[in-house]
């Protein structure tokens, strides 16, 4: 049975002779089934050797010959009187071991009260037995360990060993599998990436400009002569910044997968420990590793954990983070042009990085990776649609363009989530292929949240929700600068009881009129409640919050208020504590008044529009109560064509932008970035 198990796990040339019951093999192998005993781990070997040594000592003390205990009377009459005693050994001043002449028992022993008493009693026994001085027993004093001390210390040693083993295996020792002891905490936790990275540059889309910048770094390390002939120097480093989910870390993974140079990666938080001096020591060790493996690429993810601006919040004490940053500054500025080490870093908070870190000579380039435009989203959809088993009758390129038009503002991570959700929805209903409707449901899932068909709403509440959403739809339909409506629903999703889905424009600049119409559209639900029910509910809380934020942004940031003037102040970030405002109390009162007037004007305009279109609002509300979901076709049936021109397809959005697809062409110097040119140059010289 054991042999069969061994042969199953180890395909080695082995012959087994059943008749002779012997096993012959070309190679002597110590076989250990996977997962049984990790003999190759150093810590386990140390532990096994220690336990084996302790066990050997304990076994020795347990099974050794302890002799036979006798009394003083028996010793005198049976051994001393008969002349069988060779010598007496007083051990640890506690007992006497009687060494007998050859041929007698091995040895016997007896306890004593004290050495003085033993000597007096022994002298008296000699006189009583009438032994000559030459036949007196020889007394020897010795000290021995009987194992009792070791047995008493064994629990303590066991506890200390367990703690040391835990420290070696725990975070202080480098984490599980780190294998470092507590005294090697200063070693860098940076990892050298191997050839098992599956992400390539073809898997990165929607950020072609940033990809070209990174390709230039890789090309410089592989073909430096192309740049050195013109006197160019390799940039010391680059910071990849941008909102979460835009592909900063993905681009770094692709660099690791494509660059045929060593790629070292580390997280910024790994430099910060509770022990003083660990961070700077790890920085030194990491850059020593980079120099040793040059040319190479060093990637520090989330560098804002260690690169924050110095001088704030230390309360007079030395900051370990500042010391780590200082060491990082020194190491980066210490590189020379011949070292060929490129430092890449990723962060979504470049505003809090120290200026000394961002200066040329350390991070020469700041590469911003923002949310992709409609062409970039189409390219990202094409990447993520490759592994999806879609309907064979459906063109993936056409589907990618359609989904790109329906997902404005989505990042690469959002698009990957949409494709995965579509596949999950199709698998949930046992469909053989992923169809277009599954992608539409996935977009609604990502935007609005989980659909709650089982949530119970009272008829009165459901009617309020229907007319609230109808108010949003009607105001957006008849305002020129409002976004086109795609769908309106009163089925609860996420935290909301209903939602209206719009298709925002691919737009970066907004006028005062456009922002005003958006405010009116957000107020449509609250106004519809007031007009049709004569009361308002808490359902408009999120709408009012967005209206307030938009109004304050127009007055405080965008300078769109005539009374406040052409000034701009920074609004506090969410969760940020504001110690003092950058303007006076009089200006604050003026700002509050301007915001109130702006919101009141938007409310009055929306109220007038709802009253003018009251019949249409009621018609849409009643249809929502019947069908619960209305799409663009239903709205056209109820309201007729929208009185304004609108864009809704991919072709409409990219019209006039110069190209139908994203431009992925590379400059001439980077087209052969993944090919070595030294061989070609040598061949040219030889010819």
Q: What is the DSSP string of 589-604?
A: HHHHHHHHHHHHHHHH
E strand or H helix at 98: strand 95-100
E strand or H helix at 500: strand 499-502
CA distance 244 to 250: 11
CA distance 189 to 184: 11
Angle between helices 512-533 and 585-612 (to 10 degrees): 60
Residues 212-238 as b/e (b if ≥16 CB within 10 A, e otherwise) read bbbbbbbbbbbbbebeeeeeeebbbbb
- How many Cβ atoms from other residues are within 10 Å of residue 282's Cβ? 23
CA distance 26 to 362: 58
CA distance 65 to 141: 20
CA atoms within 13 A on the CB side of 75: 27
CB 402 within 8 A of CB 416: no
Strand-pair category, 629-631 with 485-489? antiparallel
Does the active-site annotation cover 469? yes
CB 340 within 8 A of CB 221: yes
Question: Which of 342, 226, 219, 223 has the alpha carbon at shortest distance from 291?
Answer: 342
Cβ neighbours of residue 638 closer than 8 Å, sequence gap 6 or more: 616, 619, 620, 623, 630
CA distance 545 to 540: 9
- How far is it between the farthest Cα atoms of the chain? 140
Question: Which of 324, 314, 229 has the alpha carbon at shortest distance from 268?
Answer: 324
Strand-pair category, 85-91 with 191-193? unpaired
| Extended strands (E) in 332-450 | 341-347, 365-368
What 3-state class would DSSP assign to 241?
Answer: strand
Instruction: Specify burial of residue 354 (Cβ count, 10 A radius: 0-12, 13-18, 19+).
Output: buried
Catalytic residue among 469, 529, 594, 662: 469
CA distance 607 to 596: 16
Give me the active site residues, please: 469
């Amino acid at each position: 049975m054991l042999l069969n198990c061994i042969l199953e796990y180890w395909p080695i040339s082995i012959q087994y002779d059943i008749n002779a019951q012997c096993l012959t093999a070309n190679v002597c192998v110590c076989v250990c089934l996977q997962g049984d005993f990790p003999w190759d781990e150093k810590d386990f070997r140390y532990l096994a050797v220690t336990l084996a040594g302790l066990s050997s000592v304990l076994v020795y003390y347990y099974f050794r010959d302890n002799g036979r205990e006798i009394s003083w009377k028996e010793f005198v009459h049976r051994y001393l009187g008969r002349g069988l005693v060779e010598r007496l050994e007083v051990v640890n001043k506690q007992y006497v071991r009687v060494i007998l002449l050859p041929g007698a028992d091995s040895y016997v022993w007896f306890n004593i009260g004290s050495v003085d008493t033993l000597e007096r009693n022994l002298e008296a026994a000699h006189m009583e037995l009438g032994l000559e001085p030459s036949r007196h027993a020889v007394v020897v004093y010795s000290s021995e360990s009987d194992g009792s001390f070791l047995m008493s210390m064994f629990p303590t040693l066991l506890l200390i060993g367990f703690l040391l083993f835990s420290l070696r295996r725990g975070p202080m020792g480098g984490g599980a599998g780190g294998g470092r002891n507590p005294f090697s905490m200063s070693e860098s936790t940076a990892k050298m990436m191997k050839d098992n990275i599956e992400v390539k540059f073809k898997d990165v889309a929607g950020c072609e400009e940033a990809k070209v910048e990174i390709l230039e770094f890789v090309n410089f390390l592989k073909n430096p002569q192309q740049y050195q002939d013109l006197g160019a120097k390799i940039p010391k480093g680059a910071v990849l910044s941008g909102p979460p989910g835009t592909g900063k870390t993905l681009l770094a993974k692709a660099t690791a997968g494509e660059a045929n140079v060593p790629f070292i990666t580390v997280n910024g938080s790994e430099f910060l420990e509770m022990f003083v001096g660990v961070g700077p020591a790890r920085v030194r060790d990491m850059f020593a590793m980079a120099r040793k493996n040059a040319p190479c690429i060093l990637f520090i993810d989330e560098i804002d954990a260690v690169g924050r601006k110095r001088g704030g919040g230390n309360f007079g004490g030395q900051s370990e983070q500042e010391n780590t940053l200082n060491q990082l500054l020194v190491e980066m500025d210490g590189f020379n042009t011949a070292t060929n080490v490129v430092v890449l870093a990723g962060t979504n908070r470049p505003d809090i990085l120290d200026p000394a870190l961002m200066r040329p000579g350390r991070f020469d380039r700041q590469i911003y990776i923002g949310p992709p435009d409609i062409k970039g989203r189409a390219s990202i959809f094409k990447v993520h649609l490759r592994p999806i088993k879609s309907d064979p009758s459906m063109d993936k390129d056409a589907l990618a363009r359609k989904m790109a038009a329906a997902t404005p503002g989505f990042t690469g991570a959002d698009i990957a989530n949409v494709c995965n959700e579509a596949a999950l929805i199709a698998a949930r209903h046992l469909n053989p292929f992923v169809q277009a409707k599954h992608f539409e449901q996935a977009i609604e899932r990502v935007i609005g949240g989980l659909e709650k068909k089982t949530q119970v709403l009272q008829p009165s509440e459901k009617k309020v929700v229907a007319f609230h959403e109808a108010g949003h739809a009607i105001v957006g339909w008849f305002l020129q600068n409002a976004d086109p409506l795609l769908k309106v629903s009163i089925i609860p999703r996420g935290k909301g009881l209903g939602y209206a889905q719009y298709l925002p424009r691919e737009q970066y600049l907004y006028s005062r009129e456009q922002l005003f119409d958006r405010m009116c559209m957000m107020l449509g639900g609250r106004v519809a409640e007031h007009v049709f029910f004569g009361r308002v509910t808490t359902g408009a809380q999120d709408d009012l919050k967005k209206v307030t934020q938009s109004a304050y942004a127009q007055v405080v940031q965008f300078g769109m208020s005539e009374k406040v003037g052409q000034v701009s102040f920074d609004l506090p970030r969410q969760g940020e504590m504001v110690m003092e405002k950058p303007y006076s109390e009089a200006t604050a009162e003026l700002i509050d008044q301007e915001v109130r007037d702006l919101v009141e004007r938007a409310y009055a305009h929306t109220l007038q529009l709802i009253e003018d279109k009251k019949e249409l609002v009621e018609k849409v509300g009643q249809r929502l109560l019947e069908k619960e979901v209305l799409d663009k076709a239903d709205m056209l049936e109820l309201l007729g064509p929208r009185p304004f021109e609108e864009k809704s397809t991919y072709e409409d959005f990219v019209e006039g932008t110069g190209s139908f697809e994203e431009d992925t062409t590379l400059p001439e110097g980077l087209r052969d970035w993944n090919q070595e040119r030294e061989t070609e140059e040598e061949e040219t010289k030889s010819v």
